[in-house]
Structure 1
Amino acid sequence: MRHLACVLFLVWPFPAAAQELSETFGPAAAEPLVIRSTTDLTAMRPVLENYLAGNPNLRIEYEQWGSNDLYELTATDCAGGIAGADLVISSAVDQMVRLVNDGCAATYRSDQTASLPSELRWRDQLWGISREPAVMVYNAELVPAMDVPRSRFDLLDLLRPETSRYRGRLATYDIETSGLGYLLAFADSLEATTFGGLMESFGRSGAVATCCSAEIIDAVIEGKYLIAYNILGSYALARAEKDPRLGIIAPSDYTLILSRGAMIPRDAAAKALAADFLDYLLSRAGREALEKALLLVRLDDDDGSPLELPEAAQSNERLIPLSPTLLIALDRQKRYIFRERWRAAFPNEE
């Protein structure tokens, strides 16, 4: 076990894990269910409250983590046989596949989990619970309608001129600090003929790689950045509902679709409670709660939504599947090469 921990830390040289937020729901004396997740607490709160309305004798301890820190902590717990979280939910599904592959997950099967398509379940140990597009966002007051990029090709055209007003005003996730950012960028590299051109254009135009969803969206609304690329649509939609200055586009060339991965750790203390909550998330009531929380986004049903759907966006969806193919993204040599290419494009990351 000590050897496994050593290998993990050699591959993932992160600083000490740091929790972002935490909150306890339900009576203090009730049986606890510990959930560690990358999902913003504000987005998950109504989902948790809906579940607890039918389970008044349960206490949920919800911890919000960054994806890299959550991976590090979960891997450390696994290596030490520690009963940490009862359920782990992460948007960095490549890291979740790695944890399952390393024997860190418990097996569970129910009618609800069995009803998931094969792309959203693996080994009866990892399940996709959400449906969130990766989008482009822009400042609707400062970006003229004729400049709004409907595809990656449009974005390239926008950044190409030496005199482009978007030089230094485009942002995306920093793959060094964001596991989600790395996953989306790597998925782009496999899907897009435009990826090389985007990297070159980002570097030439002084694009900014930074953290995190809320900060990037705030900066676009405030006008520090005019456009942001590969932002998780659930967070963008929640903000756009409150602030019309934020415009959102599902790229028409293809739109990546992420499903957050849920895993019951092998050494969890409350596996039965975790399994019940997982079944709730996959039930009709849970799906409705997730949809209201904008964690289930349907590109074929955008009535009243601020999400703009250019022609062909729906038909060009690209689901990121929960499968061993994601382990390619975590191969040490491939990750090194990919990061070096990224650093060349973003030499002055924020």
Structure 2
Amino acid sequence: MMRLFWLLVALVGWSSAARAQEDTAIFGRETASRTLLVRSTTDIDIFKPVIDAFLATTPDLRIFYEQWGSNDLASLSADNCASGSDSADLVISSAVDLQVQLVNNGCATAHHSPQTDALPAARNWRNEIFGVTQEPAVLIYNTQLVSPEEVPQSRFDLIDLLRPDDSRFEGRVATYDIEASGLGYLFAFVDSQQANTFGRLLEAFGRSGAVATCCSAELIDAVADGRYLIAYNVLGSYALDRAKHDPRIGVRAPTDYTLMLSRAALIPKGAEHAGMAGAFIDFMLANDGQAALAGSRLIAKIGASDGADLDLPGGGPSSLRPIALSPVLLAGLDKHKRRIFLEQWRQNLRKQ
């Protein structure tokens, strides 16, 4: 009864934590005897088919789903870990570095199964955090305002577009506000470690008046509306889903390298229904769950095949750079390094 009361409080937004939620939804039968609390950064509409597919296999279950911004979700999860109360049963986030930090701080419960054993090492750390999706970081552009010849194939091309003093792309390129978006910070920091183009790209952003804004949906909307011509490092799942319905959105995987993200799922320490949360993770890693994730573009097929969601012209599998779930990601969360990195970012991008 107390758990049901708490869920109702969260739903109507009475608590201060609930006011930070972006959205909530309840899935499953009202008569179900169990309720799984899932907190995630994934948009409800995107994740709904995956939840529905899982509930079809477990009819005596309801899922209370809370959609959060990545920074708020990490902060709440850390607070729950410290207090030992109000824990979710499952936390799924695109800000995988913040998820790794939670695991490193002892805030996760181990889960072991044939499905988790089958994961590559880059998507399973200590049997406590699991990469359940495969999503590229992409360039998007307005197909009506950017000619095919202008569409950047790589970061080098984007730098060249922004270099001229009279570039028509001045003030018309955007990316995540990495202070507001945990995912944006992750992509930017990993970028800085991947190649020597990062310094030149940041300089080009500063010289051309590039804009930092939040979040995936806002970036895609602004490109579709023509406020921006190009957006950089947008999460591919949202971009590809939108492009499917909106011909104004074009999507490009950079050929110099394309970051690949696996959203990280963990079962918090103190989860009331840890076993059922583990069953949901296993479902997402099994064939039916992978098919449901692919249907929502949360697993992207990249290549030259007819069934590919996204081409990689001039590139190939060697240009795909998975972001591994490992303690290496903690380097970007060091307070000193983070402060220096954010200062460098602020000097070159203006906020919208």
TM-score normalised to structure 2 length: 0.93
- 1:240 and 1:306 in contact (8 A); partners too: no
* Pair 1:279 & 2:282 matched: yes
Quote how far apart the aligned CAs of 1:145 are: 1.1
SS in 2 for 1:147: coil
* Pair 1:227 & 2:242 matched: no
1:278–1:52 CA distance, 2 compared to 1 (3 A) = same
Cα distance between partner residues in 2 of 1:340 and 1:311: 35
Residue 256 of structure 1: aligned partner: 259
Cα distance between partner residues in 2 of 1:199 and 1:113: 38
Residue 118 of structure 2: aligned partner: 115
Cα distance between partner residues in 1 of 2:109 and 2:246: 42
Residue 174 of structure 2: aligned partner: 171
Residue 27 of structure 1: aligned partner: 29
Structure-to-structure mapping, 1:182-201, within 5 angstroms? 182-201=185-204
Summarize deviations over 1:192-221 as a string: whole Å, max 9, x none. 211001111101100000001011101101
Structure-to-structure mapping, 1:258-337, within 5 angstroms? 258-300=261-303, 303=306, 307-337=310-340
TM-score normalised to structure 1 length: 0.93
- 2:302 and 2:309 in contact (8 A); partners too: no
- 1:133 and 1:233 in contact (8 A); partners too: yes
**Equivalent residue letter for 2:292:** A
Summarize deviations over 1:93-121 as a string: whole Å, max 9, x none. 00000000000000110111111001100
Residue 64 of structure 1: aligned partner: 67
SS in 1 for 2:165: coil
Q: 1:98 aligns with which of 79, 82, 101?
A: 101
Residue 150 of structure 1: aligned partner: 153
Alignment size in residue pairs: 335
1:306–1:98 CA distance, 2 compared to 1 (3 A) = closer
Cα distance between partner residues in 2 of 1:183 and 1:90: 12
Quote how far apart the aligned CAs of 1:306 are: 6.1
1:324–1:287 CA distance, 2 compared to 1 (3 A) = same
Quote how far apart the aligned CAs of 1:83 are: 3.7
Summarize deviations over 1:111-146 as a string: whole Å, max 9, x none. 111110011000110000000000000001100111
Residue 212 of structure 1: aligned partner: 215
- 2:28 and 2:59 in contact (8 A); partners too: yes
Aligned sequence identity (%)? 56
SS in 1 for 2:318: coil
- 1:254 and 1:313 in contact (8 A); partners too: no
Structure-to-structure mapping, 1:235-250, within 5 angstroms? 235-250=238-253
Residue 8 of structure 2: aligned partner: none
Quote how far apart the aligned CAs of 1:308 are: 3.9
**Equivalent residue letter for 1:193:** N
Quote how far apart the aligned CAs of 1:189 are: 0.1
**Equivalent residue letter for 1:349:** K
Q: 1:55 aligns with which of 55, 58, 77?
A: 58
**Equivalent residue letter for 2:113:** S
Residue 349 of structure 1: aligned partner: 351
Name stretches of at least 5 consecutive residues in structure 2 with no aligned partner.
Answer: 1-15
**Equivalent residue letter for 1:227:** I
The CA RMSD measured in Å over matched residues stands at 1.3
**Equivalent residue letter for 2:69:** G
- 1:248 and 1:306 in contact (8 A); partners too: no
- 2:302 and 2:308 in contact (8 A); partners too: no
Name stretches of at least 5 consecutive residues in structure 1 with no aligned partner.
Answer: 1-14
**Equivalent residue letter for 1:135:** V
SS in 2 for 1:264: strand
Cα distance between partner residues in 1 of 2:53 and 2:298: 15
Quote how far apart the aligned CAs of 1:252 are: 0.3
- 1:247 and 1:307 in contact (8 A); partners too: no
